[in-house]
Amino acid sequence: MNLVIDIGNSLTKLAVFDQNRLVDSVQLEDFDQKVILRLKNQYPELDKAILSSVTKHDSTLFQLLQKEFSYFLELSTTTPVPIKNNYRSKATLGLDRIAAAVGAAGLFPEKDLLIIDAGTAITYDIVDKKKGFMGGNISPGLKTRFRALHQFTGRLPLLTPTDNWPDIGTTTEEAIQSGVLTGILSEVESVIDKMKSKWPELTIIVTGGDAEFFDKKLKSSIFVKFQITLLGLNRILEYNVKNN
């Protein structure tokens, strides 16, 4: 069995896989290494682990994983993956982006894919039907846009997303909601249309913490897959175990 650890900007996600089948998952704001030991006790057959982190982590975590697992892999920009990476600046490619691309390619083989990861940032990435990672775009995420308006202006309040907002705001709060939410949906639809002009049979996958916001609000047909990055990390782990 495999343990997958994904340390993001604000949350840490852990998942247990039995080969390619997701068995258990947990999402934490405050990551405690004791969680790993609890999962190890709960699932004695856990023997392989992969760690992906967008932030610096304590060296004791690395030592714990090396000690407790017979095979441990820390994902880096040089880790072999089961898709072709065509990104020109591979050393700067976010690990979460390549993991989500691998997960999507595994779920939708031989399809042209657009993966939209809606979190602190929104990333748009293309994987073509030949399993080639073609690159993509990065823009501010939903909550980031609200925080930016509040932090970089003198009087605008800090708001959070809502499912209902007017086309034209008649209060400052409504104007912010309408501007941010209408704007972000327009951006996403515009990116989808532009990508479809190059890959007409594009399959669109939305993931990330704000994925639910976009579900049923976009005109384009989409698949919402919350666990796609974890699935990708597990595939990368299995690929490296097989080819080690």
88 appears as a binding residue in the annotation: no
The answer to whether 153 is annotated as binding is no
30 is in an annotated binding site: no
CB 129 within 8 A of CB 111: yes
Cβ neighbours of 224 (radius 10 Å): 17
**Annotated binding-site residue? 128:** no
Residue 77, marked binder: no
Residue 223 identity (one-letter amino acid): F
Q: Which of 18, 24, 32, 96 is catalytic?
A: 96
**Known binder of ligand: residue 21?**
no
Question: Binding site annotation covers 172?
Answer: yes
Is residue 96 marked as binding? yes
H/E stretch holding 14 reads strand 12-18
Type of residue numbered 216 = K
User: 239: annotated binding-site residue?
Assistant: no
159 is known to lie in a ligand binding site: no
Chain center to CA of 157: 28
DSSP alpha helices (H): ranges in the chain? 34-42, 59-68, 95-107, 142-151, 172-198, 211-214, 228-243
96 as an active site residue: the answer is: yes
3-state DSSP helix/strand/coil % of the chain, to nearest 5: 40, 25, 35
The region that residue 93 occupies, defined by phi over 0 for left and psi between -120 and 50 for alpha, beta otherwise, is beta
240 is in an annotated binding site: no
Both tokens of 34, joined, read 């004791």
- 11 appears as a binding residue in the annotation: yes
Residue 244 burial (10 A CB sphere; 0-12, 13-18, 19+): exposed
- 171 annotated ligand-binding residue: no
Q: Count Cβ atoms below 10 Å from residue 181 Cβ, excluding itself.
A: 21
Report how far residue 22's alpha carbon sits from residue 244's, in angstroms, rounded to the nearest whole number.
Answer: 23
Residue 167 counted as an annotated binding residue? no
User: Catalytic site residues?
Assistant: 96
- Would you list which residues are annotated within the binding site for substrate? 87, 94-97, 172
Binding site residues, as ranges? 6-13, 87, 94-97, 117, 120, 172
Which residues are annotated as part of the binding site for ATP? 6-13, 120
